[in-house]
């Protein structure tokens, strides 16, 4: 059901056929019957196609590899999801010791791991150095010295790149903009050369790269090109000073269509960036790209059931069994997700706010949606593969949902549903 109030993106792994929604070859209603709701469902086909769209641009017609994809695990870190990308040839972008442990758990090559993040602890730095990661992205001068101290204690070398804050407006939501001088991320552009000089003098530091990431859900190529030019200008200046940069990390952040957005085609976007690097004379650099949302966002849906339809004085409410605890993005960012009935029953349509059972007025999943539904119906919340389950919580003592991966006509449980006892099994009462 598509309307002006509920625009629906084009999806490769999910489709409507004769009034029923499918995940690849399996009806969503069958998955709800088998695994219950709320339920996260991912399409392996969609994950694969998105990765291949990037990878096509990473190899030129002569077979020379121009760039490598390092999946940004923060978007969706389920072991089955990251294992799928590893088998396709991806490396990984990590932002915590926990994500490092997940990557190592699936057998990722440590040299395919880039450790990022604005507040790495000494323990996390030690874990990364002991694992032998490709690079640690440095976000401040204080962190640079911390890395050097930890490397001294471990008697090892620390490969680093500096994350440049280029002061470029990514034209995205302020909560997910990371490249402006008012953001907490990266080293201020005017401080970068001085910091590289300082890094080159530290006893345990190996300068290997330069990094830039300007935000998320970016739907235009121009901010990337603006940031890229500023970073390449730095590489030129560093070369003149005898500081050699081996790799260029362009970060991620390419947006997806949640319904009405028109982001660039992935392959064309990637070709544009890599061609620009070559035209500037830097084709010799090892280029790293770190997409997250654009690989997994439209590869997942959240399935939920209508509990009650509640007419109100000013609004009609559709109360479902999913909530902000399952999908935080609407409450946190006022983000839009298309919501569709899993089976179209040709019922009279009314306009609803889709809300959950959590005791917060901010617990909503969609506002002013025109839907023909009744109590007991299933709804699919689309484009939920990125920043969905990974941001889920147990607020109100709500168990987290199961996660399912669909591959053709087969469905696999890739995370079991929590039960209530799981939530307080590590707690203890005070003695009498």
- 293 assigned binding-site residue: yes
* CATH code assigned at 313: 2.40.37.10
Please report whether residue 264 resides in a domain.
yes
- 290 assigned binding-site residue: yes
Q: Are 182 and 192 in contact (CB under 8 A)?
A: no
Please report whether residue 63 resides in a domain.
no
According to the model, what pLDDT value does residue 168 have? 74
According to the model, what pLDDT value does residue 179 have? 43
According to the model, what pLDDT value does residue 336 have? 96
Residue 406, helix vs strand vs coil:
strand
Shared domain check, 130 and 30: no
Domain span holding position 278: 109-291
Please report whether residue 272 resides in a domain.
yes
Please identify which residue in the block is written with the tokens 């080293």.
187
Alpha-carbon distance of 302 to 380, in angstroms, equals 6
Counted residue by residue, the chain has a size of 432
Helix residue ranges, H only, 311-394 = 329-333
- 132 assigned binding-site residue: no
Shared domain check, 394 and 271: no
- Domain end position, chosen among 241, 267, 291: 291
Please report whether residue 69 resides in a domain.
no
Shared domain check, 228 and 367: no
318 catalytic, yes or no? no
Residue 365, helix vs strand vs coil:
strand
- Domain end position, chosen among 270, 291, 312: 291
Alpha-carbon distance of 282 to 211, in angstroms, equals 15
According to the model, what pLDDT value does residue 356 have? 98
* CATH code assigned at 152: 3.20.20.10
Q: What token pair was written down for 344?
A: 């179209």
- 336 assigned binding-site residue: no
Shared domain check, 209 and 322: no
According to the model, what pLDDT value does residue 63 have? 86
Alpha-carbon distance of 202 to 138, in angstroms, equals 14
Shared domain check, 333 and 257: no
Q: Are 242 and 233 in contact (CB under 8 A)?
A: no
- 429 assigned binding-site residue: no
Please report whether residue 319 resides in a domain.
yes
- Domain end position, chosen among 224, 256, 291: 291
Q: String of b and e for 62-97 (b: at least 16 CB within 10 Å)?
A: eeeebbbbbbbbbbbbbebbbbbbbebebbbbbbbb
Alpha-carbon distance of 134 to 325, in angstroms, equals 35
Shared domain check, 304 and 283: no
Shared domain check, 358 and 275: no
Please report whether residue 181 resides in a domain.
yes
β-strands 14-17, 20-23 pairing = antiparallel
Please report whether residue 400 resides in a domain.
yes
Shared domain check, 420 and 302: yes
According to the model, what pLDDT value does residue 176 have? 42
State the 10-residue block means of pLDDT for the chain, 432 residues long.
Answer: 71 95 98 98 98 95 92 98 98 98 98 96 98 97 97 98 82 47 75 95 98 88 92 95 96 92 94 95 96 98 98 93 98 96 94 97 96 97 98 98 98 98 96 94
Alpha-carbon distance of 249 to 107, in angstroms, equals 23
Helices 192-201 and 141-154, axial angle in degrees (round to 10): 20
Shared domain check, 222 and 313: no
Total count of domains within the chain = 2
| Distances from the Cα of 416 to the Cα of 35, 36, 323, 405, angstroms | 9, 11, 18, 12
Q: Which of 84, 156, 212, 359 is catalytic?
A: 359
- 387 assigned binding-site residue: yes
Q: What token pair was written down for 74?
A: 């923060």
Peptide bond connecting 414 to the previous residue in cis, omega within 30 degrees of 0: no
Shared domain check, 317 and 279: no
According to the model, what pLDDT value does residue 166 have? 85
Shared domain check, 342 and 276: no
According to the model, what pLDDT value does residue 1 have? 45
Dihedral over Cα of 308, 313, 316, 319: its sign? negative
Please report whether residue 50 resides in a domain.
no
Find all residues with CB under 8 Å of 356, minimum gap 6, and list them.
Answer: 319, 320, 321, 322, 323, 324, 325, 326, 363, 364, 365
Which residue in 409, 346, 339, 342 sits closest to 368, CA to CA? 339
Shared domain check, 225 and 137: yes
According to the model, what pLDDT value does residue 186 have? 86
């Amino acid at each position: 059901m598509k309307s002006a109030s509920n625009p629906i993106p084009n999806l490769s792994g999910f489709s409507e056929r004769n009034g029923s929604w499918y995940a690849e070859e399996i009806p969503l209603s069958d998955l709800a019957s088998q695994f219950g709701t709320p339920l996260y469902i991912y399409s392996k086909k969609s994950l694969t196609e998105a990765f291949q769209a990037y990878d096509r641009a990473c190899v030129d017609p002569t077979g020379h590899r121009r760039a490598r994809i390092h999946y940004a695990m923060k978007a969706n870190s389920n072991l089955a999801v990251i294992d799928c990308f590893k088998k396709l040839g991806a490396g990984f972008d990590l932002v915590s010791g926990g994500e490092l442990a997940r990557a190592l758990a699936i057998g990722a090559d440590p040299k395919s791991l880039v450790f990022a993040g604005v507040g790495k602890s000494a323990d996390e730095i030690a874990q990364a150095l002991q694992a032998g990661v490709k690079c640690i992205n440095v976000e401040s001068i204080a962190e640079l010295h911390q890395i050097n101290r930890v490397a001294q204690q471990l008697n090892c070398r620390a490969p680093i790149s500096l994350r440049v804050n280029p002061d470029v407006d990514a034209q995205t939501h302020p909560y997910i903009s990371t490249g402006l001088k008012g953001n907490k991320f990266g080293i201020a552009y005017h401080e970068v050369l001085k910091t590289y000089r300082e890094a080159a003098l530290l006893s345990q530091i190996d300068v290997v790269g330069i990094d830039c990431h300007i935000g998320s859900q970016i739907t235009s190529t121009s901010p990337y090109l603006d940031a890229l030019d500023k970073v390449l200008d730095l590489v030129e200046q560093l070369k003149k000073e005898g500081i050699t940069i081996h790799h260029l990390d362009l970060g991620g952040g390419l947006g997806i269509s949640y319904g009405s957005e028109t982001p660039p085609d992935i392959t064309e976007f990637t070709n544009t960036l890599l061609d620009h690097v070559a035209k500037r004379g830097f084709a010799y650099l090892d280029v790293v790209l770190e997409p997250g949302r654009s690989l997994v966002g439209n590869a997942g849906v959240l399935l939920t059931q209508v509990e009650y339809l509640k007419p109100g004085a000013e609004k009609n409410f559709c109360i479902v069994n999913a909530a902000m605890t399952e999908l935080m993005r609407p409450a946190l960012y006022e983000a839009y997700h298309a919501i569709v009935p899993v089976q179209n029953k040709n019922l009279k349509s009314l306009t609803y706010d889709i809300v959950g059972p959590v005791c917060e007025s901010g617990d909503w999943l969609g506002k002013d949606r025109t839907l023909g539904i009744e109590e007991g119906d299933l709804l699919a919340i689309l484009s939920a593969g990125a920043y969905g389950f990974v941001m889920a919580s147990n607020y109100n003592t709500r168990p987290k949902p199961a996660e399912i991966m669909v591959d053709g006509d087969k469905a696999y449980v890739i995370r079991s549903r929590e039960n209530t006892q799981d939530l307080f099994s590590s707690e203890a009462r005070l003695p009498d």
